[in-house]
Structure 1
Amino acid sequence: MRGIVFYGTEHIRNKHISIFDTTLRDGEQTPGISLNTEQKLNIAQQLDKLGVDVLEAGFAVSTKGDRESVQAIANAGLSLDVCGLARVKREDIDACVETGVDMIHTFVSTSDVQRIHTINKSREEVLEMAVDAVEYIKDHDIKCLFSAMDATRTDFDYLIDIYKSVEGAGCDIINVPDTVGVMSPSSMYNLISDINNNVNIPIDVHCHNDFGLAVANSLMAVEAGASQTQVTINGLGERAGNADLAETAMSLNSIYGAKTNINTKYIMETAKMVERYTGINIPAHMPIVGENAFAHESGIHTHGVLEKSDTFEPGIMTPEMVGQNRRIVLGKHAGKHAIKKSLETAGIYPTDEQLNEIIDNIKSIADKGKRITDADLYTIASTVMGKPSGEDAIKLKELSVMTGNISTPTAVVKAVIRDSETIASNTGVGPVDAAIKAVEEIIGEYATINIHDFRIEAISGGSDALAEVTIGVEDEKGKIISARSASADIVIASVDALITSLNIMLKSKS
């Protein structure tokens, strides 16, 4: 398997790739996100723990708060390099220098569309500004990263002229931004290859996700010779965001066999911290850190995974590697093996007959669009296993309820009682009351009962919550028998709990 995975990329195996995180700069440019200094410092410390090589702390010149945040992070004694962002302007560079950062990332628009319509400079002026900025940064004996903004839409010959010029000015590393996310992976590979053939300093890439290709483009850039890639936690950033750190780092580590300094077991806790601070929820289906990334529902899949995890998981990446957990999700696709395993894990051991009934109940509820939680499973199992064994005296055949703003709630119940079919209808103050009264009517000639207690509890949140109903029935001698049932339909749960209580009562009389 590994031979196939690495086919054609052997040159990357064991190569070290630096991870440059820009969550606190480009990530904070996600619409609706604004982080305070304390939050930024906490994230920076978490990224240091994660093993990020370079952290872009912010745009120091933009606001007083940004400058304070950058300075606080630069002075926090972190192991990683702290980077500040600056336009090719001396006041921007001075603001970064004053914060004490380890690296300054300076940038200028180089594509014709941006150069003409945003900064209104000629190609010659832009080149001169870039060289001056790099020289000014190096005069302060600080590492310099230069970005030709919108590089992927810049005339190639001009782009090479700029990169060669900043290299000659002492730049330490050049960045190739796909600023508007328009590159295809093959185009990115070709561009980085050509740049790599023309410059002698390390190449970094910054890919945006407008077409969902940011991670793919970052990986192709590495294949073509880039030694550093810029990422954000949870793929945050302008518009559709940036290349996601987890996806990029795990692809490099697990698929390519490259080396990074990322301590992968902290990926999940880092993602959750950023989710908490930003308020941007991680999609359930997001690779690696999403709730469903290592979740299985299909019977075939769960059976395979429970036997050997890499039957339906990559194998070269496990949930434990990234601080995740494998989950077996219960629903209409769930198999007997998975449900039995989930119950046994909780110390619940149903008979085969009971297990089949539990499975039928789960699939019936899931068919109505209800998500089955662990609490739901245990309630269903408890209900089924609490029913009396042997032939039931009462078997419900049909239940229908009519209700509305004008009509009185009316319930019709059809049941077989000791081989005799009986039907009854009744009204009530609500649909549950009407249904219970109808059941009481059909049982009248067999037993005298009184509803001693009645409790309803929602097991899970939402308007489609699974309702658990517990009913206590008192017979003519004062004996109380309780039973419970669970369903997404509260009327059905109520009737089922009542009939279970009555069956227990009638069996005790026989």
Structure 2
Amino acid sequence: MNIQILDTTLRDGEQTPGVSLTTSEKFRIATKLDEIGVDFIEAGSAITSEGERESIKEITSQGFNAEILSFSRPLKGDIDYCIDCNVDAINLVVPTSDLHIAEKLKVTREELLDLSNDALDYCKDHDLKVELSAEDASRSDIDFLKLVYDNAIDHGVDRICVCDTVGILTPDLSFELFNKLSGIEVPIACHCHNDFGLAVANTLSALKGGATEIHTTINGIGERAGNTSFEECVASIDRLFPQFSTNIKINEIYDMSKLVARLTGVYIQPNKAIVGENAFAHESGIHSDGIIKNSATYEPMTPELVGRKRKFIIGKHMGTHGLNNRLKELGLNVDDNQLKQICDNIKVLADKGKTVTDVDLQVIADNVLEINHEDRIKLDEVTIVSGNKVMPTASVKITVDDEQILNAGVGLGPVDAAINAIKSLDIFKDIDLIEYHVDSITGGTDAFIDVIIKLQKADKVVSARGTEADIINASVKAYIAGVNRLLRD
């Protein structure tokens, strides 16, 4: 069975606190939604503002394949604004729980039915398709809910929707509710909120209960805890429910997700299913080894299916198989002994609380691969004089090609002075320091300092590192290590 998708990122998703999309941003999102095969796009709520109406008009003017809807209350004024925006259809939202009818609208059930029926007639008089969404349906009396739907069918409604407005359904209750409604003559949609983290589970259960359409937002954004996640539902239907299908180009899910995250400023938590940065990342040695042999061992789907790439994370849990794979990706070939040394060095850093990056790995690997090289320059001693009223001054004693040299320099700070004392020597001529980065590996005043630098000579660029409790020693050692590497090359 083909499941249709109504995406409400541009309406319900934009109700995320702090999110306000411009017309051009809404247009970009709508364009991508149409490209990837979304069936219905709720472009906004026309009654909201003039800017909202301009956005909807921009979208409706494009001739998208998707049906374009606007949210509307059962009021002629709202509907008139929708008509003015040239939408294909209206998502007519009618509260059906006694709580909403009595406390929010302050009308009777009979008056609510009249409102719904009159609004439907008005829409149909203007040749609009209508999906009637029963707001707070999950807390509504089931017999009255059916009555609202039956009346809507009598007045020409095209689709109906069950809204779990405050996310109180469970998967079992969702299946039961949709199963009770499955005899209704028009397609039934499911609109879930994620207040208890069950929106996706409830939506999938609704499909098993008889729903043929689902409402989603990209990345599950929306007010409070958000809405049903588009990417999680689409991937789940594709992989876990062979009896269902969608029209979505599933390999473009990640691009869609990143676009919405970038434009809304609502970024994705790393461990989010399908689109989170860690969704296809592996650090554990056991997992990495299994993945390399057969990705199905520790992945329920290939990352390429949803437009992703697999990552092996460098850290203390990684094994040699995953590490070797990452080294090869960086163009480094090592033997078993070198691989073990690199792995051990990574674990030493990771145990100190350091996040090991690709730059770190490159430096560690370079150091191990060059361990048998004789360095031309060796640091013997560095002394710093610095104070409140004293220009930082450094004296360094180094050995260059077995000749011991003593030199001095000044700088804006002690590190600058130490580097200047070294680089003024002829052997350092034409070597430029192009990047200098410092991290504190551990906490406290006795923290280990990790200095990573990049040096350039002609068109050759190298990275080097120094790790010490003393930032000056760490910086000087990193600088000399980089120069030695350039001189060898």
TM range (shorter): 0.7 to 0.9
Partner residue of 2:151 out of 150, 165, 182: 165
Instruction: Name the SS for the 2:223 alignment partner.
Output: coil
C-alpha distance in 2 between matches for 1:132 and 1:187: 32
> Could you say which residue in structure 2 is the equivalent of 1:116?
102
C-alpha distance in 1 between matches for 2:364 and 2:122: 71
1:199-348 alignment to 2 at 5 Å? 199-257=184-242, 258-314=244-300, 317-348=301-332
User: 1:404, CA displacement in angstroms?
Assistant: 12
User: 1:387, CA displacement in angstroms?
Assistant: 2.8
Q: Is the 8 A contact 1:485 1:493 kept in 2?
A: no
C-alpha distance in 1 between matches for 2:292 and 2:379: 37
C-alpha distance in 2 between matches for 1:346 and 1:471: 19
> Could you say which residue in structure 2 is the equivalent of 1:52?
38
Q: Deviations over 1:365-422 (max 9, x none)?
A: 222222222222112211222233599xx999xxxx9x999xxx9xxxxxxxxxxxxx
Moved over 3 A (4+): 428-436, 449-466, 469-472, 487-504
Q: Is the 8 A contact 2:379 2:477 kept in 1?
A: no
User: Are positions 1:373 and 2:357 aligned together?
Assistant: yes
Cα distance change, pair 346–114 in 1 and its aligned pair in 2 (3 A): same
Cα distance change, pair 344–143 in 1 and its aligned pair in 2 (3 A): same
Q: Deviations over 1:446-469 (max 9, x none)?
A: xxx999689877677976695225
Cα distance change, pair 163–206 in 1 and its aligned pair in 2 (3 A): same
> Could you say which residue in structure 1 is the equivalent of 2:395?
none
Partner residue of 2:111 out of 125, 133, 139: 125
Q: Is the 8 A contact 1:83 1:102 kept in 2?
A: yes
Partner residue of 2:339 out of 355, 373, 385: 355
C-alpha distance in 2 between matches for 1:459 and 1:297: 28
C-alpha distance in 2 between matches for 1:503 and 1:462: 23
> Could you say which residue in structure 2 is the equivalent of 1:102?
88
Instruction: Name the SS for the 2:47 alignment partner.
Output: coil
C-alpha distance in 2 between matches for 1:184 and 1:404: 67
**Gapped regions of structure 2 (runs ≥ 5):** 393-409, 420-424, 442-448, 457-461
Q: Deviations over 1:443-492 (max 9, x none)?
A: xxxxxx999689877677976695225899xxxxxxxxxx9742565456
Amino acid at match of 1:203: I
CA RMSD for the aligned pairs?
Answer: 3.9
C-alpha distance in 2 between matches for 1:318 and 1:50: 19
Cα distance change, pair 148–251 in 1 and its aligned pair in 2 (3 A): same
> Could you say which residue in structure 2 is the equivalent of 1:441?
none
User: 1:204, CA displacement in angstroms?
Assistant: 0.3
What TM-score comes out, normalization by structure 2 length?
Answer: 0.82
Cα distance change, pair 466–46 in 1 and its aligned pair in 2 (3 A): farther
Out of 94-103 and 224-233, give the one that drifted further: 94-103
> Could you say which residue in structure 1 is the equivalent of 2:404?
none
Q: Is the 8 A contact 1:485 1:494 kept in 2?
A: no
Among all aligned residue pairs of Structure 1 and Structure 2, give the percentage whose two residues are the same amino acid. Answer: 43
Out of 370-379 and 246-255, give the one that drifted further: 370-379
Amino acid at match of 2:317: H
C-alpha distance in 1 between matches for 2:437 and 2:290: 29
Cα distance change, pair 174–359 in 1 and its aligned pair in 2 (3 A): same
C-alpha distance in 1 between matches for 2:475 and 2:373: 20
Cα distance change, pair 497–33 in 1 and its aligned pair in 2 (3 A): closer
User: 1:24, CA displacement in angstroms?
Assistant: 0.4
Instruction: Name the SS for the 2:309 alignment partner.
Output: coil
**Gapped regions of structure 1 (runs ≥ 5):** 1-14, 410-427, 437-448, 473-482, 505-510
Amino acid at match of 2:168: V
What TM-score comes out, normalization by structure 1 length?
Answer: 0.79
C-alpha distance in 2 between matches for 1:27 and 1:304: 38
User: Aligned residues, how many?
Assistant: 456
User: Are positions 1:25 and 2:11 aligned together?
Assistant: yes
Instruction: Name the SS for the 1:349 alignment partner.
Output: coil
Amino acid at match of 1:219: L
Q: Deviations over 1:314-351 (max 9, x none)?
A: 0xx22111111111111111111111221122221233
Q: Deviations over 1:118-153 (max 9, x none)?
A: 211111111111111112212222211001111111
Q: Is the 8 A contact 1:23 1:231 kept in 2?
A: yes
Instruction: Name the SS for the 2:288 alignment partner.
Output: helix
Instruction: Name the SS for the 2:308 alignment partner.
Output: coil
Partner residue of 1:187 out of 167, 170, 173: 173
User: 1:359, CA displacement in angstroms?
Assistant: 1.4
Instruction: Name the SS for the 2:211 alignment partner.
Output: coil
Instruction: Name the SS for the 2:179 alignment partner.
Output: helix
C-alpha distance in 2 between matches for 1:32 and 1:252: 31
Instruction: Name the SS for the 2:323 alignment partner.
Output: helix
Q: Is the 8 A contact 1:104 1:142 kept in 2?
A: yes
C-alpha distance in 2 between matches for 1:38 and 1:310: 41
Instruction: Name the SS for the 1:174 alignment partner.
Output: strand
C-alpha distance in 2 between matches for 1:385 and 1:360: 14
User: Are positions 1:382 and 2:366 aligned together?
Assistant: yes
C-alpha distance in 1 between matches for 2:106 and 2:3: 36
> Could you say which residue in structure 2 is the equivalent of 1:364?
348
Q: Is the 8 A contact 2:190 2:214 kept in 1?
A: yes
Instruction: Name the SS for the 1:51 alignment partner.
Output: coil
User: 1:162, CA displacement in angstroms?
Assistant: 0.9
Q: Deviations over 1:175-213 (max 9, x none)?
A: 10110111111111111111224x221110110011111
> Could you say which residue in structure 2 is the equivalent of 1:174?
160
Instruction: Name the SS for the 2:6 alignment partner.
Output: strand
C-alpha distance in 2 between matches for 1:162 and 1:104: 17
C-alpha distance in 2 between matches for 1:174 and 1:488: 64
> Could you say which residue in structure 2 is the equivalent of 1:476?
none
Cα distance change, pair 500–61 in 1 and its aligned pair in 2 (3 A): closer
User: Are positions 1:196 and 2:178 aligned together?
Assistant: no
Cα distance change, pair 181–386 in 1 and its aligned pair in 2 (3 A): same
